A = this chain, B = another copy of it.
């Protein structure tokens, strides 16, 4: 029986192009013969597809490969600096911007401050201004941008593509994607910030070959980006990953969500910062910190912890224990291959990783915990902006 698929040819062609590009991306370089073998496409079809991809600037020829008998084959690679994508991480008082090319090489990584409580209109204007300023300085043409990605600290609705709520920005029901798309003149994709970090880990980080993993971001709040079957898992209405409100202590500290004892109230940067400053103001003093120093910044606290300050270490370790409870439950429930701890966690990971791992080992079941890898993200605070930039890039390779 021969099945002829003659229907939607344009779609199939795009699919084949994406398959060819992804094979070259994953193998770094391939000959036309290797491509034909890997795809099952005929040499003619393969030749036609690669010809178009070269003409359009996605691929280029890069000298000769190893001979397997006959002539040395010409090798194909993704063409660097041909097309770009831009990613923005919209924080409470800061915009991070990343520009990368389709090979995922990062060309620009910048950040710009604004006042907390900035309005949607002002952020749109700010993004437009900074983007065109940067590409002008870098001598990049806007025509070469395939799209933009926006990392949002909030809950998105996948069907309307709107921001439902972004508490730290005090935004509700915002259609930011459409607005940014118009402002920049290119497609704009919005994504939750922890999901962006997970995309970053999957596309350019340590999780590139991992099907099921969870990326936990520890910063002002705590959220997770979940990958299942090599795809972003968003849940039924797009809000999956909100792990910060696991109750880790009955009748514990009051949380912004109205509840008591949420993970965030013990393990987020905001609450650890607050706890330490409150204790110092109440008279805690050591060789390293004391009430005379005024309100301590997060950087100061991390520095003090590295110098061995007992209070700072104790609070960071307590945060790691409570985070460990959540990690253990995620391991029991989802049996992931990896857990990545990201954002601020990188800054103090060497001080608390032992505590966290010990807690996880004590609290998760032996079997799934024996199968999981737990590690710190190498990207720190930049993972969401990097992941946002990768959103349009991934789309070239995944139809």
A371 to chain B, nearest CB (A): 4
Q: A3-B12, A4-B4 are in contact. Are A235 and B368 (CB under 8 A)?
A: yes
Kindly name the residue among A164, A240, A334 whose own CB sees the greatest number of chain B CB atoms within 10 A.
A334
Contact sample, A vs B, 8 pairs, CB 8 Å cutoff: A155-B367, A226-B334, A236-B371, A237-B367, A242-B368, A245-B329, A246-B329, A250-B250
Contact indicator A332/B246 (Cβ below 8 Å): yes
Q: Which residues of B contact A248 (CB under 8 A)?
A: 247, 250
The chain B residue with its CB closest to the CB of A247 is: B325
Contact indicator B211/A236 (Cβ below 8 Å): yes
Contact indicator B1/A236 (Cβ below 8 Å): no
A258 to chain B, nearest CB (A): 8
Q: A257-B365, A333-B243, A365-B257 are in contact. Are A212 and B224 (CB under 8 A)?
A: no
Q: A5-B5, A332-B246, A333-B243 are in contact. Are A236 and B365 (CB under 8 A)?
A: no
A209 to chain B, nearest CB (A): 12
A110 to chain B, nearest CB (A): 32
Interface size on A, residues (CB 8 A): 58
Q: Does A87 contact B (CB under 8 A)?
A: no
Q: Which residues of B contact A239 (CB under 8 A)?
A: 335, 365, 367-368, 371
Q: Does A363 contact B (CB under 8 A)?
A: yes
Chain A positions 224 through 242: 1 when the CB is less than 8 Å from some CB of chain B, otherwise 0: 1010110001111111111
Contact indicator B40/A13 (Cβ below 8 Å): no
The CA-CA distance from A336 to B155 in the complex, in Å, is 15
Q: Which residues of B contact A6 (CB under 8 A)?
A: 2
Q: Which residues of B contact A234 (CB under 8 A)?
A: 335
The chain B residue with its CB closest to the CB of A325 is: B247
Q: Does A378 contact B (CB under 8 A)?
A: no
A268 to chain B, nearest CB (A): 15
Q: Does A372 contact B (CB under 8 A)?
A: yes
B1, B9, B237, B365: which contacts A13 (Cβ < 8 A)?
A: B1
Contact indicator A336/B242 (Cβ below 8 Å): no
Q: Does A186 contact B (CB under 8 A)?
A: no
Chain A, range 309-336, C-beta contacts under 8 Å to B:
325, 328-330, 332-336
> Can you name 11 extra interface pairs (CB under 8 A) apart from A249-B250, A329-B329?
A155-B367, A235-B336, A235-B368, A236-B336, A239-B335, A240-B333, A242-B332, A242-B335, A246-B329, A247-B363, A257-B365
The chain B residue with its CB closest to the CB of A224 is: B333
Contact indicator B236/A212 (Cβ below 8 Å): yes
Chain A, range 190-241, C-beta contacts under 8 Å to B:
211-212, 224, 226, 228-229, 233-241
Q: Does A259 contact B (CB under 8 A)?
A: yes
Q: A245-B363, A329-B329, A365-B242 are in contact. Are A237 and B371 (CB under 8 A)?
A: yes
Q: Which residues of B contact A337 (CB under 8 A)?
A: 236
The chain B residue with its CB closest to the CB of A231 is: B229
The CA-CA distance from A25 to B1 in the complex, in Å, is 25
Q: Does A7 contact B (CB under 8 A)?
A: yes
The chain B residue with its CB closest to the CB of A49 is: B1
The chain B residue with its CB closest to the CB of A15 is: B3
